[in-house]
Amino acid sequence: MKKIKLLSVWALMFLTCILYGQSIQVLDDVSGSKIDWTTGRYVAVGMGAVPSREEMPNRAIALLKAKDYAKMEAIANLLMLIEGTQIDYDATGEDYMSDTVIKQKIKGYVSNVSVEEAKKVTVEGDEVVIVKCISYMYGLKNPNSLDSGLNPGSVLLEKSLKKDQDIFNSFDIKDVPQPSKRKPTDAPVVVAPASKFPVTINPQKDNLEKWLDKPAPYQVAKRSASGEKYTGVIFDASGFALDRSMSPKIRLDSGDVVWAGANASPETVIAKGVCVYAESVEAAKKNPRAGKNPLVVSVINITGAGKFKTDLIITGVDAEILKDENVKGKFLDDLNVVIVKNPMKPSRT
């Protein structure tokens, strides 16, 4: 096969963005592939050079060969994307794929992914086929068949869920110190002490975008009116260099865990994922996961382990409101959670 002229990285990214980037809302780039954290999709792109007419006079076969090569590249990119997906503050897909069973499941799924779209373009005089493969992160590959297996994100979350649940079950919540103002009959705000999910709480100034000098003031979350209930929750992390992940935790500034996806039913987590991400509060309010009447909670800091900052820190007051409102609306139980990540917004104080 005739070798295609070498394309610069910027030219390749520009080309793929023109072809496929407009429909994707929140993206992470990994080797030509994309994660849409808003709709929960992996989008993998591959390229294949079309053999010249001299090399292959039959143009139909030439195009098929180029498409096959492009699909192979897309599959390789999809696998790298899954391996690089941040699951929580200390684990990626690659960490969990050290498990032979998980690795076999995901490799089997990736090898059978179908081509959603194929286009022929001309690059510096050479014909190139670009293909796009899409995989949903969560749920069943075929919702109409219980034997179809899980999408790759759900395979990873299933493992993460078991790990977290084992930790939650390893201690008695009664041993966690609670504020003296709380009544003995109140359910505790904290569901796990920081020692069970250890992180380093950095000073806020280390997490904020330093070039922005107009901080957005913190606002206490609003309780719902009598007779009303919230349909979802939006955690506004605008202004923080947050890392998106499949299973973020909500914490207090002590590091104690207020809520995590493992608190919901395993079936719900595997079916829809813990949360989705949006670029603004306005966009989050339009997301189906937020519903018609979402609670908005201001994030005051972010944290994690090492270089990954995936977990959100909220105030104790907001944690109380979050707990009380969930008793009414059950939005955390249903994983109706949207996180706003947009570090270009004014930083918070």
Nearest CA among 73, 15, 69, 77 for reference residue 43: 77
Coil, strand, or helix at residue 150? strand
- Consecutive H or E run containing 74: helix 59-84
DSSP one-letter string for 2-46: PPPPPPPHHHHHHHHHHHHGGG-SSEEEETTEEEETTTTEEEEEE
- Consecutive H or E run containing 120: strand 115-123
Q: Confirm if 109 and 135 have CB atoms less than 8 A apart.
A: yes
pLDDT > 90 fraction of the chain, expressed in percent and rounded:
52
Length of the chain: 349
Tell me, yes or no, if the pTM score tops 0.85. no
DSSP one-letter string for 282-328: HHHHHSTTT-SSEEEEE--EEEEETTEEEEEE--HHHHHHHHHHHHH
d(CA 225, CA 295): 12
Domain ranges of the chain: 9-136, 183-340
d(CA 289, CA 292): 9
pLDDT in tens, 171-207: 765 555 555 455 544 556 888 989 899 998 766 554 4
pLDDT in tens, 30-50: 445 789 999 999 999 998 999
Dihedral (Cα; 19, 24, 28, 33), 10-degree rounding: -40
Res 112: pLDDT: 84
Q: Confirm if 338 and 235 have CB atoms less than 8 A apart.
A: yes
CA distances in angstroms from 93 to 52, 103, 181, listed in the order given: 39, 10, 42
d(CA 231, CA 213): 34
Per-chain mean pLDDT for the chain = 82
